[in-house]
Structure 1
Amino acid sequence: MSDSENLVPPGAKIKVIGIGGGGGNAVNTMIRTGIEGVEFITANTDVQSLRFSLAERKIQIGKELTRGLGAGADPDIGRDAMLEDRHAISEALQGSNMVFVTAGMGGGTGTGGAAIAAQIAREQGALTVAVVTKPFAFEGKRRLKYAEEGIRRLEECVDTLITIPNQRLLEVSSPELSMIDAFRMADNVLVNAVKGISDIINVPGNLNVDFADVKTVMSSMGQALMGIGVGEGANRAKDAAQRAISSPLLEDVSIEGATGILINITANESLGIREVNEACSLIQEAAHEDAHIIFGTVI
């Protein structure tokens, strides 16, 4: 047997499970985007929504409880539906090294079910990361209240929780933005969060990061922040880093004091080592002086 035949396959077994309508929409966007090395699962009480899912594995939850008609924007029904089909979720997540749980918080199925899915993944020993959205202000105070309660429960069940405040996206967007495009923008941010982390593990670059590196930074870390920055021209890397640490997605908090940082630099083959140094140094200066920083490049 040759040396190449003895090599263990690279990367890690990563699964994304989208809970409810918002989670299912995000999964569809991820699949269309072409995220590499990830298995997609959707779970929903709403059979009609599941029919539109592009995921290779679709799970109807709460068949007895909801009869396939959804959770009626009631998180308690969403939780009970997930518990009813806990075994199916457990089976779908079996063997994962890392599980992303994604949902739009504020409704019924996602808000109530996300914490149960995360709990199952973590009990199986997977690094469990939740990436969820908080509702737009126009969706109403009750929905925001449900979202905040769901996020509190979810935080107890995950290693890392990334929350995307949809209202912040609205505040920095064009006044002509349509409602459909607003929700699409929120989906794209969820996609970038998952893709940014999974690509750094699965896509080869000049500075490779393995799953163990990511696990070191993300295990039992609680609330996390996500910043995205894009740069062009001579100072592209530094500009992108500056925009990432001052991103509107960071809501009312800053990177100052962060003790664990995961940096994904995506660029073409002309990326220089000096550019990488400038970008990482800028981020490191903004964080805690003893921060554990893991960074990789995707070329």
Structure 2
Amino acid sequence: MEPLNVRVPEPLLDEIDKKEEARGFGSRSEFVRELLRDGIDAEPRLDHNQIQAEATEGEETLPLEEVRDRVEVDRMSLEARETFDSNDAVGRMIVGGNSLGEVSTLVESDLGTLLDEDDDADILVAGCGGGGVRIASEVYQRNDDTGQTAIIDTDITHLNANAADTRAVLAKDKFDGQGADGDVETVRKAVDNSRPVIRQMIGDADLVFVVAGLGGGTGTAVAPELAKMAQESGAVTVSLATLPFRTDDSKVIRARNGLERLDAVSDTLAVLDADRVSADPAVSMSEALCRINNNIAHLISSICLDIGQFYTTEKAESLLEKLSNGNRSVLLDSTIDTALGETYDELSDRLLQYTNVDIESRRADQALLTFTAGPEVDSPSGRIDSIISSISDSARELVWSSRVVIQPGTVEKTEIRVTGFLTGFDIELDDFFDRESVPCEETASSRTESEIDILPGTGSSSSDSTKTVAD
């Protein structure tokens, strides 16, 4: 600490001494330091009347510093309540600040147990930045009660438009809750300053899904740091990242840098490309984004619901063990309407692939899939077995779960939905960026089935003509 020489009139000095003693400060210097802090802050940091009122708890006299800490936490918690819209599920607030009392991170959370002790795994779905927040919020709104959801953003308005078990506004002191506007470095520093708070949000999860849209400031910076903390805590970390539309080169560069960091700290990584979906002229940009969000949310919810119900054709490992070495992966999603007589082989050319990775004529090490059948699917087990047999030809090992949905909404009454990962391809990070954005539907519809050799389970063709169209 540096000395500060200040001359004051004698009457004022007498008044300082009286106030210092009345308010319980240990010395004149301590009192003056507190006055200086209050003068610098826009609002008084501490309510000294409240300190005096709370200094005695029953017959026990509390240390002055402990009382001050309590008052300061109460003040910042009040700020957190005023920041977030009301959420009935929330029990309490936690706050991360710095030594000067500036609020850097506000967290609204119930901070309860993730899952019951009898469940197979504790699961956290963490949405980072705009795109990730929307997806994690959709998982939360499905009301599956399968784990905890957390959303982190620098934009308070966006956080309040979405819901989760835990909501955190990051770097409020830097961005005033208005969003990071591509400032990755400042957000990264804020994450580092708020590491204990974010670590508390992760808790003791066994499986953490990190979901983020790359290219902006918040998701690009937060997702790799959160994934790293999840791995350090011992959790299996599955990251799902979306790439930005190719209308802004600066966003693409940020996304590429963020993906490198995320890849290094993810056990399984799937990358989805917004341009891949929006290339279909029949699909609007907003519809494309909704489709991506819905499919990721469905995949995560299905895995969470069935975490202990996966079946394997070979090694008797748990799903967590499978996901712990999934590496770079391809996300798949398709719907088959059994009422129209569709089979998986006939539908594989329409299987949605939200990646530019060329996986033609390659075999996956693993196919990690969920099958969701509507309530009016005839003989769902037999139909799913037939699909599994078809997919097995394109994967060295198949891990799957299946369920029949009684309530419509997830799938239509006569539909079977197939969602999951193909893992183990020799994929380079550049592969996610280099290829043209050609939708699978357009590629397939431009030729008849007799002209192409469909690789079951991938939606890709092993013929040269397909590669010419896609490239």
Return the TM-score normalized by structure 1.
Answer: 0.84
Q: Is the 8 A contact 1:28 1:53 kept in 2?
A: yes
Q: Does 1:260 align with 2:366?
A: yes
**How many matched pairs?**
283
Structure 1 residues 137 and 121 mapped into 2: Cα distance closer, same or farther (>3 Å)?
same
Match status 1:124 vs 2:203: no
Aligned to 2:263: 155
**Given the alignment, which residue of 111, 114, 126 partners 2:220?**
111
Contact 1:121–1:128, Cα closer than 8 Å, also in 2: yes
Instruction: Quote the offset at 1:67 in angstroms.
Output: 3.5
Q: CA deviation at 1:199?
A: 2.9
1:187 aligns with 2:293: yes
**Residue in 1 that maps onto 2:321:** 216
Give the distance between the partners of 1:295 and 1:122, measured in 2 at CA.
Answer: 25
In structure 1, which of residues 163, 185, 197 is the aligned counterpart of residue 303 of structure 2? 197
Indicate conservation of the 8 Å contact 1:98/1:126, yes or no: yes
Change (3 A) 1:220 1:77: farther
- The CA distance in 2 between the partners of 1:277 and 1:226, in whole Å, is 21
Name the CA distance, whole Å, in 1 between partners of 2:230 and 2:139: 20
For 1:241 and 1:296, locate their aligned partners in 2 and report how far apart those are by CA, in whole Å.
20
CA 1:85–1:271 in 2, change beyond 3 Å: closer, same or farther?
farther
Separation in 2, partners of 1:240, 1:55: 39
Identity %: 23
Q: 1:253 deviation in Å?
A: 2.4
Give the CA deviation at 1:189. Answer: 2.8
- 2:273 match: 165
Q: Do the aligned partners of residues 229 and 71 (structure 1) sit closer, same or farther apart at CA in structure 2, a change above 3 Å counting?
A: same
Query: Relative to 1, partners in 2 of residues 1:241 and 1:258: Cα closer, same or farther, differing over 3 Å?
Result: farther
SS of aligned partner of 2:148: strand
2:333 is the alignment partner of 1:228: yes
Measure the CA separation in 1 of the matches of 2:224 and 2:155.
18
Distance 1:117 1:220 in 2: 19
- Counterpart amino acid of residue 194 in structure 2: D
> CA–CA distance in 2 between the matches of 1:84 and 1:173?
45
Match of 1:34 among 132, 143, 156: 143
Matched, 1:238 2:347: no
Contact 1:172 1:248 survives alignment (8 Å): no
1:240 deviates by 7.9
Correspondence for 1:137 = 246
Change (3 A) 1:196 1:169: farther
Return the alpha-carbon distance in structure 2 between the equivalents of residues 105 and 247 of structure 1: 21
Q: Calculate the aligned-residue CA RMSD, in Å.
A: 2.7
CA contact (8 A) 1:62 1:84 kept: no
Q: How far is 1:8 from its partner?
A: 5.8
SS state at 1:24 partner:
helix
1:54 aligned residue: 163
> Which protein is bigger by CA-based radius of gyration?
2
TM-score (norm 2): 0.55
Residue 240 of structure 2 aligns with an amino acid whose one-letter code is V
Q: Write the distance in 2 (CA, Å) between the matches of 1:91 and 1:183.
A: 31
- What one-letter code is carried by the residue in structure 1 that aligns with 2:289? F
Partner-residue secondary structure (3-state), 2:322:
helix
Displacement, 1:198?
1.9
Q: Distance between the aligned counterparts of 1:239 and 1:77, measured in 2?
A: 49
2:178 corresponds to which residue? 69
Whose helix proportion is higher, 1 or 2?
1
My pick for the range that moved more, 143-152 or 166-175, is 166-175
Cα displacement string for residues 212-236 of structure 1 (whole angstroms, at most 9, x for unaligned residues): 6211221133211111111112654
Q: CA deviation at 1:248?
A: 3.0
Structure-2 separation of matches of 1:261 and 1:45: 36
Whether the 8 Å contact between 1:44 and 1:70 is mirrored in structure 2 is yes
Closer, same or farther: CA 240–155 of 1 in aligned 2, 3 Å: farther
Instruction: Structure 2: give runs of 5+ residues left out of the alignment.
Output: 1-115, 405-471
Show the counterpart of 1:19. 128
